[in-house]
Amino acid sequence: MADRKDQDKKVLGLHILYVALPLIVVSLCHLDLWWICLVILLTHAGIDFLKPIVQKQLKLPTAWTFALDQVLHIGILTCLVLMGAKNGTTYLPLDTLNLIFYVLLVGKPSNIAFKILFAKYQPTSKKKMDTITGAGSMIGFLERLVIGACLVYGQFASIGLVFTAKSIARYNKISENPAFAEYYLIGSLFSILSALLAAWLCS
């Protein structure tokens, strides 16, 4: 959906509906947060609607457009959280908000960022793929969650175990396909950097 909403208005509408549903639930449970939910919905819809138009008019690269999109979304959410905290309308402890923020950062945005930034390094193979669709993205997400947990508990050495487990699972492919090995290394390093950056932003 994230890839198709820029070209198909119906997909964009469905995406906005998915965003609206949890916001409606939150506003019904906490009536004093209705305006925050409304601002989130309107700004999210506006950014997603204008993104392909701005990209086309300014002829921006996909990576720049994605970065601008994420900065705007995160910036708006951060401002609203700070305003809510200042007005005494924050219902969750700061640590819980930071945890939610971290999970959101290392989830879909990180997966999409990797695909956009490093698409040219992805090895092309005529052989049938021997992996499950979406498994790589899920592994990357879980990997970044584990790295975050290791950082929280100060178990820095344990981070190496994550990559050892990945390397064992992909050993044959790494040893037989140099192009895949390089792409695998890029993905692993990106996971570390994105997890560290997300942890820093949430600290």
**Predicted confidence band at 32 (pLDDT cuts at 50, 70, 90)?**
confident
pLDDT at 3: 56
pLDDT at 190: 92
- Mean pLDDT for the chain overall: 83
pLDDT at 90: 62
C-alpha to C-alpha distance for 12 and 8, rounded to whole angstroms: 6
The domains of the chain are located at 9-91, 119-202
* pLDDT tens sequence across 69-124: 989 998 898 888 777 666 666 666 777 778 888 888 898 888 888 988 888 888 77
C-alpha to C-alpha distance for 78 and 101, rounded to whole angstroms: 10
pLDDT at 4 over 70: no
Counting Cα atoms < 13 Å in the Cβ hemisphere of 131 gives 11
pLDDT at 10 over 90: no
pLDDT at 196: 92
pLDDT at 166: 82
pLDDT at 127: 52
pLDDT at 47: 93
* pLDDT tens sequence across 36-81: 889 999 999 999 999 989 988 988 888 889 889 989 998 898 888 7
For residue 91, report the phi and psi dihedrals to the nearest 5 degrees: -100, -10
Output the pTM of the full model: 0.73
pLDDT at 91: 63
pLDDT at 46: 94
Instruction: Please return the burial class of 153, using the count of CB atoms within 10 Å of its CB with bins 0-12, 13-18 and 19+.
Output: exposed
* pLDDT tens sequence across 149-176: 988 888 888 888 888 888 887 888 888 8
